[in-house]
């Protein structure tokens, strides 16, 4: 029985957890030692192995190690670890060391070996850790200790992870040369899938897909009592692996244009930009034409229809890769989204501004192309690059994912994604989707609002018996899953009476609908 397992006695705040503190410090020491080793190796650098890289990655390891050693919060665990979890974490940590080693350039020496030692062990360690944490315990909502966790609630680990994620994106977008060693470890895989050496995007795609898969396994375990969550998680894992990773790779392998069938304009803005369209149309065979047709059809025909029937969730929490990463890798931080009315105002303003920006960019590009550059000339290219830089890179990547551990998992989806903006407008005004509340059963506990990754104050509606129809709701279903009183249900149905509960309940004093809704403000 897990509960009587005295291994867990030293849990959240019950005992200071001395023993773990020291083992945490040992981990710090290992990183420090490894860093010193790399620094030392820098002195013996050669033509093939640049001393600079050794020096830099040595510093990274050293910084890591010192942080772990000296910031007590980083090592004092809020929950004690079982032996299985420790094995998993140990392998994960070793894998991390090896990833640092690849950065030093060792990855270029023996790519396959370091692929398995780094990426392989991180994956394996992660999976073992997840298994040890969840398997063999009863399914059900277990957010135990989330608010005490320094990983999940903006503690030291959270901030450290935020820095690491953000740093990774900065290197990836603007200094890919720094990641050379890591990229080389992907060469063997890239040859198989791509038929050519890896570039930074292949490396990124591989990590991205692994993150969705490994953390997807975690989500499958965590929500295993809930069939909606299981199917939905499986769906995002499938779409990421097959549609956003394998198919584009195989297309390249067969000398076809790299194309993501699961991303559409305006999220994948360039798919309907003249440059891409013209390039695709010029491809030999019918494939390029089909791709253009697909992109346009999905954007303009399928999207409204699917959203009409099921709300924006068919895409945002079932298919989309950004959503997929948020629902898997981002799940531990979903409660960090800001629930204030202020945040909601900023959200509406910002996301629609981005939508206008992308529509305008697209329009300008087409006008320019139709007039053969007469309107803007070279300027339209610059305009497009500005969009790509600000929205495509900074927002979607650096802030969107980098800030997961600090600002929650759906920053990009909520504040920046133009696709979410269009889907949201459809969802709000032309959809059969709503979250229904169950009469008067709400106890105003706040679980739903807290665990809504989109920052929707679900309780505000639930406690007055009002249906939830919000443009931003991605239909992840977690509010319904965490509600301890069975109050919330995601449903599709006739559009009449979507805003009220079913008519049956209004006369009843037990339920707060009628007057509450009329009065609006209070």
Partner 1 sequence: MHIVIVGNGVTGITTARFVRKMSDHRITVISAESDHFYSRPALMYLYMGHLTYEQTKPYADDFWEKNRIELLRDYVREADVAGKRLFLSSGAALSYDRLVLATGSQSNKFGWPGQDLDGVQGLYGLYDLERMEQNTQGIRRAVVVGGGLIGVEMAEMLHARHLPVTFLVRERGYMDYLLPPEEADMVGRQIRSHGIDLRLGTELKAVLGDEEGRVRAVVTSAGEEIACGFVGLTVGVHPNVDLAKASGIETNRGVLVNRFFETSAPDVYAAGDCAEFREPLPGRKPVEQLWYTGRMHGRTLARTLCGRRTPYRPGVFFNSAKFFDLEYQTYGDVPPALGPGLRTLYWEHPNGDRCIRINYREADGAVTGFNVMGVRYRHAVCAAWIREGRSIRFVLEHLGAANFDPEFFTQFEAEVVATYNAGHPEAPVRLKRKRGLRALLTH
Closer by beta carbon to ligand SF4, 348 or else 485: 485
Under rule CB under 8 A, which residues in 16-35 are in contact with partner 1?
none
Closer by beta carbon to partner 1, 138 or else 286: 138
Under rule CB under 6 A, which residues in 422-441 are in contact with ligand SF4?
435
Q: Which x/- pattern, by CB under 8 A, does the window 209-228 give for partner 1?
A: ----------------xxxx
Q: Scan for tokens 């009065």, then name that residue.
A: 519
Which span (201-209, 240-248, 314-322, 497-505) binds partner 1, by CB under 8 A?
497-505
5 lies in the site for partner 1, by CB under 8 A: yes
Under rule CB under 6 A, which residues in 460-499 are in contact with ligand SF4?
462-463, 468, 473-479, 483, 485, 487-488
Dmax over Cα atoms in the chain, in whole Å? 83
H-helix or E-strand spanning residue 490: strand 488-492
Among 206, 233, 436, 447, binds ligand SF4 (CB under 6 A): 447
149 binds, among ligand SF4, partner 1, none (CB under 5 to 8 A by kind): partner 1
Q: Which x/- pattern, by CB under 8 A, does the window 82-121 give for partner 1?
A: ----------------------------------------
Question: What are 418's two structure tokens?
Answer: 């133009």
Question: What are 94's two structure tokens?
Answer: 């070793």
446 lies in the site for partner 1, by CB under 8 A: yes
Which residues are bridge partners to 491 per DSSP? 434
Kind of pairing between the strands at 433-437 and 488-492 = antiparallel
Closer by beta carbon to ligand SF4, 100 or else 488: 488
C-alpha neighbours within 13 Å on the C-beta side of residue 66 = 8
Contact present, 331 and 409 (Cβ < 8 Å): yes
Contact present, 458 and 479 (Cβ < 8 Å): yes
486 lies in the site for partner 1, by CB under 8 A: yes
Among 244, 252, 298, 452, binds ligand SF4 (CB under 6 A): 452
Closer by beta carbon to ligand SF4, 421 or else 487: 487
Among 203, 458, 511, 512, binds ligand SF4 (CB under 6 A): 458
Closer by beta carbon to ligand SF4, 231 or else 382: 231
Whole-number Å distance between alpha carbons of 47 and 193: 30
Closer by beta carbon to ligand SF4, 189 or else 215: 215
Residue 465 CB, shortest distance to ligand SF4, in Å, is 10
Residue 27 CB, shortest distance to partner 1, in Å, is 23
Closer by beta carbon to partner 1, 256 or else 485: 485
Residue 321 CB, shortest distance to partner 1, in Å, is 23
DSSP letters spanning 75-102 = HS-SSPPPHHHHHHHHHHHHHHHHHHHI
66 burial type by CB count under 10 A (0-12 exposed, 13-18 middle, 19+ buried): middle
Q: Which of 164, 161, 168, 169 is nearest to 389 (CA)?
A: 169
DSSP letters spanning 343-366 = HHHHHHHHHHHHHHHHHHHHHHHH
Among 445, 469, 505, 517, binds ligand SF4 (CB under 6 A): 445
Q: Which of 201, 210, 197, 194 is nearest to 173 (CA)?
A: 201
Q: Which of 469, 462, 468, 467 is nearest to 440 (CA)?
A: 462
Among 446, 495, 506, 516, binds ligand SF4 (CB under 6 A): 446
Among 146, 171, 353, 376, binds partner 1 (CB under 8 A): 146
Contact present, 184 and 205 (Cβ < 8 Å): no
Question: What are 90's two structure tokens?
Answer: 């140990």
Closer by beta carbon to partner 1, 329 or else 512: 512
H-helix or E-strand spanning residue 434: strand 433-437
Closer by beta carbon to ligand SF4, 277 or else 456: 456
Residue 73 CB, shortest distance to partner 1, in Å, is 16
Other CB atoms within 10 A of residue 332 CB: 22
139 lies in the site for partner 1, by CB under 8 A: yes
Residue 446 CB, shortest distance to partner 1, in Å, is 4
Question: What are 47's two structure tokens?
Answer: 């033509």
Under rule CB under 8 A, which residues in 62-81 are in contact with partner 1?
79-80
318 burial type by CB count under 10 A (0-12 exposed, 13-18 middle, 19+ buried): buried
485 lies in the site for partner 1, by CB under 8 A: yes
3-state secondary structure of 447: helix
Contacting positions for ligand SF4 (CB under 6 A): 435, 442-448, 452-454, 456, 458-459, 462-463, 468, 473-479, 483, 485, 487-488
């Amino acid at each position: 029985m897990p509960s009587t397992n005295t291994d867990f006695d030293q849990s959240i705040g019950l005992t200071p957890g001395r023993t773990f503190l020291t083992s945490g410090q040992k981990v710090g020491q290992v990183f420090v030692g490894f860093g010193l080793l790399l620094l030392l190796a820098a002195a013996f650098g050669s033509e093939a192995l640049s001393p600079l890289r050794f020096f830099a990655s040595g510093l990274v390891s050293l910084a890591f190690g010192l942080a772990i050693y000296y910031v007590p919060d980083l090592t004092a665990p809020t929950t004690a670890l079982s032996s299985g979890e420790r094995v998993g974490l140990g392998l994960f940590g070793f894998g991390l060391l090896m990833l640092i080693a690849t950065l030093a350039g060792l990855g270029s020496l023996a790519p396959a070996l370091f692929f398995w030692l780094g990426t392989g062990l991180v994956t394996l360690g992660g999976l073992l850790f997840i298994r040890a944490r969840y398997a063999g315990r009863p399914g059900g909502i277990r957010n135990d200790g989330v608010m005490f966790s320094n990983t999940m609630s903006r503690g030291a680990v959270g901030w450290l992870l935020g820095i690491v994620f953000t740093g990774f994106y900065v290197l990836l977008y603007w200094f890919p040369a720094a990641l050379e060693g890591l990229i080389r470890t992907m060469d063997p895989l890239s040859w198989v899938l791509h038929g050519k050496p890896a570039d930074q995007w292949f490396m990124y795609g591989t990590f991205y897909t692994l993150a969705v898969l490994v953390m997807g396994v975690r989500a499958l375990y965590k929500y295993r009592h809930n069939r909606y969550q299981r199917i939905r998680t499986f769906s995002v894992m499938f779409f990421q692996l097959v549609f956003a990773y394998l198919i584009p790779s195989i297309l390249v392998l067969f000398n076809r244009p790299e194309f993501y069938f699961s991303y559409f304009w305006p999220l994948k803005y360039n798919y309907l930009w003249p440059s891409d369209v013209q390039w695709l149309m010029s491809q030999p065979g019918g494939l390029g034409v089909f791709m253009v047709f697909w992109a346009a059809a999905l954007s303009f025909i399928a999207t409204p229809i699917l959203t009409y029937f099921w709300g924006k969730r068919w895409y945002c929490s079932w298919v989309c890769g950004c959503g997929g990463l948020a629902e898997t890798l981002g799940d531990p931080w979903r409660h960090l989204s800001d629930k204030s009315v202020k945040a909601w105002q900023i959200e509406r303003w910002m996301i629609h501004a981005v939508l206008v920006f992308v529509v305008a960019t697209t329009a300008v590009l087409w006008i320019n192309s139709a007039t053969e550059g007469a309107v803007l000339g070279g300027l339209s290219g610059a305009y497009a690059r500005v969009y790509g830089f600000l929205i495509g890179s900074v927002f979607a990547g650096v802030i969107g994912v980098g800030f997961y551990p600090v600002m929650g998992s759906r920053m990009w989806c909520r504040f920046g994604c133009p696709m979410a903006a269009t889907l949201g407008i459809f969802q709000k005004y032309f959809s059969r989707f709503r979250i229904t509340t169950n009469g008067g059963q709400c106890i105003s506990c706040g679980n739903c609002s807290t665990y809504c990754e989109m920052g929707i104050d679900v309780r505000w509606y639930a406690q007055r018996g009002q249906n939830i129809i919000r443009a931003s709701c991605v239909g992840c279903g977690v509010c319904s899953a965490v509600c301890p009183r069975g109050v919330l249900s995601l449903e599709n149905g006739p559009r009449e009476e979507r805003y009220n509960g079913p008519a049956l309940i209004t006369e009843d004093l037990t339920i707060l609908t009628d007057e509450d809704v009329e009065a609006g403000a209070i």
